[in-house]
Structure 1
Amino acid sequence: MRVAIVSESFLPQVNGVTNSVCRVLEHLARTGHEAMVIAPGRGPSDYAGFPIRTTPAFRLPFYRSFRVGLPSGEIMTALEEFKPDVVHLASPTVVGASGMTAAARLGVPAVAVFQTDLAGFARQYGMRGADAAIWGWLRHIHVRAARTLAPSSATMSELNAHGIPRLSLWGRGVDLQRFNPGHRSERLRRELAPNGEVIVGYVGRLAADKRVHLLPGLAELPGVKVVVVGDGPAAKSLRRRMPDAVFCGLRTGTELSEILASFDVFVHTGANETYCQAVQEALAAGVPVVAAAAGGPLDLVQPEHNGLLYPADSPEEMRAAVARLASDEDARTRMSGNARASVLHRTWSALCEQLVRHYETVSSEDFQPHEEDLGRWKPWKARVAEPSEAHAGT
C-alpha cells in the first residue's frame, strides 16, 4: 500500500505522536509498503527510508519547545504527487485538518488517529471555556474520516459522546526489548538513592497539562527518593520545590531503559491521557504503577495486580497510594511480577498489523465524506485527470 502520514508533530520533537508515527513507519518499511510523512517545522529529510515533507510551524509562547503547524498548500501538492491509497492523520488538529481536506478533495480515504486530549490540555492552561469550540473543531475533522481510531476504551466513549462516528479501538504498542526488567541496574540505583531509599519515578513532559505540580508532595514521603526524567516549562519550578529529588533531564535509548527499570514505583500525575505510553513502558519494565483512574490508564493498570489507581481529582489519594507501595515491599514485589505479563500482548508489530488492516478496509470501501465535501468529492482516478481543479482553494 501507499500510505501518506500527515502528523501534527515529528522529529526532532519527541512525544507520543512522534513515537507512534516512527513505529508505524518502521513497520511499513519492514513489510514492503510505501510511505511518506508530512509534518510541521524543521526535521529530518527522511525516516526508515521514507521521505519527510515539512510545513510551516510556530512555537507556543508559553511552551517554546512545542511547535504548532500551520495550514499549507504544500499538503495538497505532496499528496497529489505521492498518490496514496490511504491518508493516515496522526492526532489531527491544524496540519491534520488540512490533510483531511486535501484527502477528501482527492477522493483518498483517511484514517484519523485520535491521540491528544486537546480539551483537557486547554483546561490545564486555564482555558476552561474552550471545550465546545475544541470539540466542534475536532468533529469537523473526524466526521470526514473513513475511520477514527481511539487509543483506549475511555477515549472511545468520550469520542462517541461528542458525536464522532465510525470509531474503532487501536491502542499503542510497546518495545519489550527496550523496556525490560533485565535493564535494572543496582549500580544506577546506588547513584540515584545512595541511602537505599525506595525510588519513585516519573517520566514525561514537565508541563502543566501533566499536573507535575503534584510531584513535590511525594518528595516529602519518608524513605522515598523522587527521580524525574523529562524536560519542559515546569522544570525550573520543580527543581526549586524539590531540592532533594534527582532530575535526569530528557533521556532516551538505553539510558532511559536502565533508569525506568531501576524504579521501584512509577507514578503518573496526568489526568488527561488518551493512552499513556509511559505507563505501558513502566509496566513492560516490571515496575508497578500508580496512576489516575481516568483515560488510558484505566485499560492498563489493574488495581492490586500491577499497580494502583487513584481518583483523578484527589492528590491526597495519589500520595497515599505511593506511600503504601513505598512502605510495602511484598506488594511491590508481587505487582512487579505481574506488571510485564500484563502488556506482553501489546507489541508494536501486532498493533501495526492491525493498523494496516484498517488501511486495507477503508481503501476497499466506497466511503462518502461528510456532506460539506460531497459536492467536490470524486474518485482518485478522476482527480488525476483534472490536475488543475485539485489545486482549487489551496
Structure 2
Amino acid sequence: MKLALVTETYPPEINGVAMTLSQLVSGLRDKGHRVQVVRPLQTSEKGDPKTEPDTITVFGLPIPRYPDLRFGLPSRNRLIHAWQSNRPDIVHVATEGPLGLSAIRAAKSLGIPTTSTFHTNFHSYSEHYNAKFATRIVLAFLRWIHNQTRCTMAPTLELAKQLAAEGFRNMEVFGRGVNLKVFNPQARDENLRRTWGAAPDTPVFIHVSRLAAEKNYDLLQKAYSEIRYRRPDAKFVVIGSGPMEKKLKQDLPFATFPGSIPLENRPELARYYASADAFLYPSKTETYGNVATEAMASGNALVAFDYAAPAQHVRQGLTGLISALDDDAGFVASSLAVATDDSLREKLGQAAAAYAPAFDWQPIVDRFEAILLRTIAS
C-alpha cells in the first residue's frame, strides 16, 4: 500500500496527535507499506518546501495562541502535481486545516480515495477562549470536511457515536497505544525523586500536557490546594509548555516545572512518569488522552473524568478513580483519597501497570491498516 498521510503536526512537535501519527507511520513502514507524510514546514526548519518520496512539506503560518505550531497553507495544485508523479493508493487526512482540505480536493480530482481522523475536539475549545457562540459553527465546519472523505476514524466508540449523532458519516474506531518498552514502572528513578525533595514514601503528583486553557487548570489548582492542606509533604511536577505556562508557574510556585520533553526523548518522559505516584487529569476536552494511558502504564494512580481513554480503560476503584463529567467535587475528593491513603495509591498504581498490555500499539496499527485496505478495495 502507498499511503499519503496529511497532517498539520508531526514530530519533533510535542503533542498527542504528532506522537500518534509517528507511531502509525513507523508501524506501517515496518509492515512494508510506503508512507509519504505531507505537512507544513515547522518553526525550526529553514528553506523552501520540498517534495520527496517520503515527505512533502508546504508553507505554513503560526496557529493563533499556539505560536510553536503551524497550519499548512492550501496546496491543491502542488499535491496534484506530486501525486500524478507518485500516485498514492489512498490519502489519509489527520487534521482539518487548509492543507487537509486542499489534500481532499486534490485526491478527489485524481480519483484517489480519502479517509480522515477526528483527533481534536476543536469545537469544544471555543468556550475556553470566550467564544462559546462558535461551538456549533466549528462543529459544522468539521463535519463538512470529514464527510468529504470515505470514512472518519475516532479513537473511542463513545466519540464515534457522538459524532454520528451530529451527522458525521461512516464512522470507524481505532484506538491509541503506549510504547510499553519505554513506559513502565521499571523506569522509576529515586535519584530524580530526591531532586524534587521527595523521600521514598512522599506522594508525588505528576501532570503532563500542553499547558493551555482548555485543559481545565482551575480545577487542577483546586485539587492541588486541597492536597497540600491535607498532605503538606506532597510534591508536584508539571511537564509541558504552552500559552498558560507563565500563569501556572505563578499560581503553582510550589511545583516543579521541567518544561517540555521532546518526543524523541520518550525514555526521559517515562522516567518522570514512573518516578511519580499519581496523575491528576482534569481535562474535559480530549478525544482520547494519551497521557492518561502513559501514566497508567508507568504505575501512576490515575484520577480523571469518565470519558475518553479513562472511561475505556479505568475500572473504578481498581485501576484508577473516575468521576462524572459534571462532578468537579468528585474529582477533588478522589484526588484527596489518592493523596491521603497510601495503600490505595499504591494499589491503583500497581493495578494500572498490570493492565498496561491492553495499550499495546501493534493491534492499533493493524486496525488502522485494515481500515485503509478495506477503503482502497471498496
What residue in structure 1 maps to residue 290 of structure 2?
277
The answer on 1:19 being equivalent to 2:24 is: no
Aligned residue identity for 2:22: C
In 2, Cα distance between the equivalents of 1:210 and 1:41? 27
The residue type equivalent to 1:199 in the other structure is V
2: distance between equivalents of 1:303 and 1:97? Answer: 41
CA 12–337 in structure 1, closer or farther in 2 if over 3 Å, else same:
closer
2:73 equivalent in structure 1: 70
Q: Does 1:180 align with 2:184?
A: yes
Query: Which residue identity is paired with 1:16?
Result: G
Distance in structure 2 (CA, Å) of the matches to 1:265 and 1:76: 49
Which residue is equivalent to 2:91? 87
Q: 1:96 aligns with which of 100, 103, 117?
A: 100
Contact 2:7 2:100 in 1 (8 A): yes
Alpha-carbon distance in structure 1 between the residues aligned to 2:207 and 2:296 = 13
Unpaired runs of 5+ residues, structure 1, are 366-394
Deviations 1:63-98 (A, max 9, x none): 322322221233333333320111111133332111
Q: Which residue of 1 aligns with 2:305?
A: 292
String of CA shifts for 1:220-275, please: whole Å, max 9, x gaps. Answer: 22322221011111111111111111111112422211000111111112101111
| Percent of aligned pairs with the same amino acid | 30
CA offsets 1:291-327 (integer angstroms, 9 cap, x no match): 1223332112221111111233443332211110111
2:150 to 132, 142, 146: 146
Partner of 1:214: 219
- Judging changes above 3 Å, is the alpha-carbon distance between structure 1 residues 50 and 14 closer, same or farther for their aligned structure 2 residues? farther
C-alpha distance in 2 between matches for 1:51 and 1:181: 36
- After superposition, the C-alpha distances for 1:178-205 in whole angstroms (9 at most, x for unaligned) are 1011001122122223365311110010
TM-score, normalising length from structure 1?
Answer: 0.87
* SS of corresponding position for 1:306: coil
Partner of 1:382: none
Q: How does 1:357-376 map to 2 (within 5 A)?
A: 357-365=370-378
**Secondary structure at the residue paired with 1:175?**
coil
1:8 equivalent to 2:12? Answer no
Partner of residue 333 from structure 1, selected from 328, 343, 346: 346
Does 2:113 correspond to 1:113? Answer: no
The answer to whether the aligner puts 1:243 opposite 2:256 as a matched pair is no
Helix, strand or coil at the partner of 2:54:
strand
Q: Secondary structure at the residue paired with 1:309?
A: strand
Change (3 A) 1:33 1:238: same
Distance in 2 between residues matched to 1:348 and 1:194, nearest whole Å: 33
**Would you say the 8 A contact 2:293–2:309 is kept in 1?**
no
- Contact kept in structure 1, 2:119 and 2:287, CA below 8 Å: yes
Q: Provide TM-score, normalisation by structure 2.
A: 0.90
Shift, 1:144, TM fit: 2.1
Deviation (angstroms), 1:3: 0.5
Distance 2:64 2:152 in 1: 31
CA-CA distance at 1:286 after TM superposition: 1.5
* Deviations 1:145-168 (CA, angstroms, capped at 9, x unpaired): 222111012211211111111111
Q: 1: distance between equivalents of 2:130 and 2:276?
A: 33
**Amino acid corresponding to residue 215 of structure 1 in structure 2:** L
- Asked if the contact 1:115–1:274 (Cα under 8 Å) also holds between the matched residues in 2, the reply is yes
| 2:333 is the counterpart of 1:323 | no
Distance in 2 separating the partners of 1:104 and 1:149:
19
How far apart, in 2, do the equivalents of 1:105 and 1:297 lie?
Answer: 41
| 1:39-50 paired onto structure 2 within 5 Å | 39-42=39-42
Aligned residues: 363
* Separation (CA, whole Å) in 2 of partners of 1:96 and 1:154: 25
Counterpart CA distance in 2 for 1:227 and 1:316 is: 22
Instruction: Please point out which of 213, 219, 232 is paired with 2:242.
Output: 232
What residue is the counterpart of 2:171 in the other structure? 167
- Native 8 Å contact 1:155 1:274 kept in 2: yes
Which of 299, 316, 339 is the matching residue for 1:303? Answer: 316
**Displacement, 1:50?**
6.1
Asked whether the 8 Å contact 2:198–2:204 carries over to 1, the reply is: no
Letter in 2 for 1:200: F
Contact kept in structure 2, 1:219 and 1:245, CA below 8 Å: no
CA distance in 1, matches of 2:356, 2:111: 38
After superposing on structure 2, the runs of 4+ consecutive aligned residues of structure 1 that deviate more than 4 Å are: 43-46
Could you say if the C-alpha distance between residues 346 and 254 of structure 1 is closer, same or farther in structure 2, counting changes exceeding 3 Å? closer
Asked whether the equivalents of residues 273 and 297 of structure 1 are also in contact (C-alpha less than 8 Å), the reply is no
In 2, Cα distance between equivalents of 1:343 and 1:151: 17
The answer on whether the counterparts of 2:6 and 2:38 sit within 8 Å (CA) in structure 1 is yes
- Tell me the amino acid that sits aligned with residue 260 of structure 2: L
Contact 2:296–2:302 (CA<8 Å) still a contact in 1? yes
Letter of the 2:246 counterpart: K
Structure 1 vs Structure 2 CA RMSD = 2.0
Moved more, 265-274 or 345-354: 345-354
Task: Tell me, yes or no, if structure 1 residue 38 matches structure 2 residue 17.
Answer: no
Does 2:279 match 1:266?
Answer: yes
